[in-house]
Amino acid sequence: MTAENDKSLSSEMLKARNAILIEFGDHSFDQALDEIKNSLATEKDRAKRLALLSAKSWIIRNKVYAMMHEPFVYSLNELENTNIFSGIEDDDSTQLSGLFDDDEDEDEGRRRQWRCPNKSK
């Protein structure tokens, strides 16, 4: 869905639109649309207005898609059909990732320690 629409935008416009979307990634669809509406009311630069309109269009399209196909998606960066937010690290995931990643190595060491040796008697 988004790949076809992205082909019609220049690379500069894609970068500007994606920067706006990343800025509002944690917002709900409605909050992001309100922020963009406020930005459009004050923005004078035509290129920035065009990028804001492109971001607004992207949000509306994906809001409708989420309502139909992904009803439990509430913020922009939760969408699974896009790679715009894939480079952004979640603060929560980085804090919690260290808690569970190292357990496999420790568990293997414990298993080796508790194995019964072969009895050759």
Quick check: helix, strand or coil at residue 117?
Answer: coil
- Mean pLDDT, range 29-43, rounded to an integer: 95
Quick check: helix, strand or coil at residue 99?
Answer: helix
pLDDT reading at 94 higher than 50? no
Q: Is the pTM of this model over 0.95?
A: no
Task: Answer for the pair 21, 35: CB distance below 8 angstroms, yes or no.
Answer: no
pLDDT reading at 65 higher than 70? yes
Task: Answer for the pair 25, 17: CB distance below 8 angstroms, yes or no.
Answer: no
Span between the terminal Cα atoms of the chain, in Å: 69
Quick check: helix, strand or coil at residue 22?
Answer: helix
| Top-confidence residue, 104 or 64 | 64
Position 101 scores a pLDDT of 54
pLDDT reading at 28 higher than 50? yes
Residue in this structure with the two tokens 């960066």, named with its chain if needed: 77
pLDDT reading at 92 higher than 90? no
Task: Answer for the pair 2, 81: CB distance below 8 angstroms, yes or no.
Answer: yes
Position 53 scores a pLDDT of 96
- Mean pLDDT, range 58-87, rounded to an integer: 83
